[in-house]
Amino acid sequence: MSDGSAARWGVPALIVLATAATAALGAAASIDAQAYYASLRQPAWAPPAWLFGPVWTTLYLMMAAAAVLVVRRLGLPAARPALALYAVQLVLNALWTWLFFRWHQGALASAEVLMLLLAIVLTARAFWRARPLAGWLLMPYLAWVAFASALTVSVWRLNPTML
């Protein structure tokens, strides 16, 4: 497969698979999340548990689309640094769900979500430089994770014995 062909079909397929795998890993960690989330004390501004699924589905689609746009614009060799950042934030994304919902590690989840936020900022900046639309596509994700960061810390502080 030539580099042009890889950038056209192979790499976008890998991006979609990696993003879907991240979603699947998060889903595996949060099988009992609704019941657990409902058992935790919440700040008044916490969203209902049913909202998370539709929001994350939309965000994962936008994330994958942004990464594909970068590869299509730059080609694979030039896109590698941006894709490396994308991969880092995918790993951090999946890890947060395990830390919070499966392992009940509120302090670690609170610290880790801040690392995720930084990784998203760096990824969005790299994507913006490659193609502004790709950077814009990550803005809802950045906003949601900023909100999730505040929510994570708040829930942890409200439930120190459960997290």
pLDDT tens digits for range 113-129: 999 999 999 999 999 99
pLDDT number for residue 54: 97
Name the residue range of residue 31's domain: 3-158
Is residue 163 situated within a structural domain?
A: no
* DSSP 8-state assignment for residue 138: T
53-66 confidence digits (pLDDT tens): 999 999 999 999 99
Q: Which of 141, 147, 143, 146 is nearest to 64 (CA)?
A: 141
Amino acid 118 reads L
pLDDT band at 152 (very low <50, low <70, confident <90, very high): very high
We report the CATH number of the domain holding residue 24 as 1.20.1260.100
List the beta strands (DSSP E) in the chain. Answer: none
- How far apart CA 61 and CA 58 sit, in angstroms, is 5
Is residue 65 situated within a structural domain?
A: yes
Is residue 105 situated within a structural domain?
A: yes
pLDDT number for residue 7: 56
pLDDT band at 3 (very low <50, low <70, confident <90, very high): low
pLDDT number for residue 33: 86
How many domains would you assign to the chain?
Answer: 1
Is residue 99 situated within a structural domain?
A: yes
Written in H, E and C, the secondary structure of 60-84 is HHHHHHHHHHHHHHHCHHHHHHHHH
- Nearest 5°: CA angle at 102, between 31 and 108? 145
